[in-house]
C-alpha cells in the first residue's frame, strides 16, 4: 500500500479515488450550503481547519484539475442568480440568513473537496482522508485477493469433479443398460399378466355358462321327479 503522501504527487492515483466522496463525512461532518451541493472557500477552511489563504493557494495551483471535478467561480448574473436561489432556500428553511459575496464566489462540490483533501499538505483532516482512502483500497484489494484464492480453490475442485464424472460415465452407462433390460422384462411381465387376466375373464364367463347349464339340469330333474310321483 502506498503512503498517504503518494496522493499528493500522483494525479493518476488521485483520479482512482475521486469516487469515494463518502469518506469526507466519515472523517468529519461536511457542512454544505443550503442547496446541499456546494461549499465555499470559507466552508472548506473550517472543514480542513486551515486558513482560507491556504485553500486559495491550493486552488490556484491546481485550478484546472479542480475545475474538472466540480469547482467553479461565479460572477455577474450567474452570481446574482445563485445568491437569489440561496436566499430563497434560507428563507424556506427557518428564515436563516445567507452571506452574499460581493464580486465573485468560488464553489466546490463534494468531488472537488475530496480532490483538495488529496492535495492539501498542511491539514490533519486532509491527511486522515488520504489515509482512510488508501486503507480502504488496501482492504478492498485484500478482499479481491481472498476472493481470487477462493475462486481458484473452487476451480481446482471442479477439475476433480470433472475426473470423477468421467470415471462415473461407464458406471452410469452400465446402470442405464441394466435399467433398460429391467424395463423390457417388466414390459414382458405386464403382457403375461394381461394375458392371464384376459384368460381368467374368459374362464369366469365359462363358469357362468356351466352354472347356468347345471341349474337347468337341476330344474329338469326336479320336474322329472314330480312327474313320477303323480303317476
Alpha-carbon distance of 99 to 97, in angstroms, equals: 7
Q: Which three-class secondary structure string do you get for 90-121?
A: HHHCCCCCCCCCCCEEEEECHHHHHHHHCCCC
Alpha-carbon distance of 24 to 17, in angstroms, equals: 12
Low-confidence ranges of the chain (pLDDT < 50): 143-145
For the chain, give percent helix, strand, coil, nearest 5. 75, 5, 20
Secondary structure of residue 37 in the 3-state scheme: coil
Q: What is the pLDDT of residue 76?
A: 92
**203: Cβ contacts below 8 Å, ≥ 6 apart:** none
Alpha-carbon distance of 50 to 220, in angstroms, equals: 134
Q: Cβ–Cβ contacts within 10 Å for residue 137, how many?
A: 16
Q: What is the pLDDT of residue 142?
A: 53
Q: What is the pLDDT of residue 145?
A: 43
Q: What is the pLDDT of residue 143?
A: 45
Q: What is the pLDDT of residue 156?
A: 65
pLDDT in tens, 178-201: 888 888 888 888 888 888 888 888
Helix (H) or strand (E) segment spanning residue 40: strand 39-40
Q: pTM higher than 0.85 for the full model?
A: no
Amino acid at each position: 500500500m502506498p503512503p498517504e503522501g503518494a496522493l499528493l504527487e500522483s494525479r493518476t492515483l488521485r483520479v482512482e479515488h475521486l469516487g469515494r466522496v463518502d469518506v469526507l463525512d466519515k472523517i468529519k461532518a461536511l457542512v454544505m450550503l443550503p442547496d446541499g451541493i456546494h461549499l465555499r472557500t470559507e466552508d472548506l477552511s473550517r472543514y480542513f481547519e486551515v486558513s482560507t489563504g491556504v485553500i486559495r493557494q491550493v486552488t490556484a495551483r491546481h485550478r484546472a484539475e479542480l475545475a474538472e471535478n466540480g469547482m467553479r467561480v461565479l460572477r455577474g448574473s450567474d452570481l446574482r442568480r445563485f445568491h437569489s436561489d440561496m436566499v430563497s432556500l434560507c428563507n424556506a428553511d427557518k428564515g436563516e440568513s445567507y452571506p452574499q459575496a460581493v464580486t465573485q464566489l468560488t464553489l466546490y462540490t463534494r468531488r472537488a473537496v475530496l480532490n483538495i483533501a488529496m492535495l492539501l499538505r498542511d491539514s490533519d483532516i486532509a491527511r486522515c482522508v488520504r489515509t482512510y482512502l488508501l486503507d480502504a483500497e488496501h482492504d478492498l484489494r485484500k478482499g479481491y485477493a481472498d476472493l481470487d484464492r477462493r475462486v481458484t480453490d473452487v476451480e481446482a475442485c471442479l477439475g476433480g469433479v470433472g475426473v470423477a464424472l468421467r470415471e462415473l460415465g461407464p458406471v452410469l452407462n452400465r446402470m442405464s443398460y441394466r435399467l433398460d433390460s429391467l424395463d423390457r422384462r417388466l414390459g414382458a411381465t405386464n403382457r403375461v399378466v394381461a394375458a392371464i387376466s384376459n384368460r381368467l375373464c374368459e374362464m369366469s364367463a365359462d363358469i357362468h355358462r356351466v352354472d347356468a347349464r347345471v341349474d337347468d339340469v337341476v330344474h329338469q330333474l326336479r320336474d322329472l321327479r314330480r312327474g313320477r310321483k303323480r303317476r
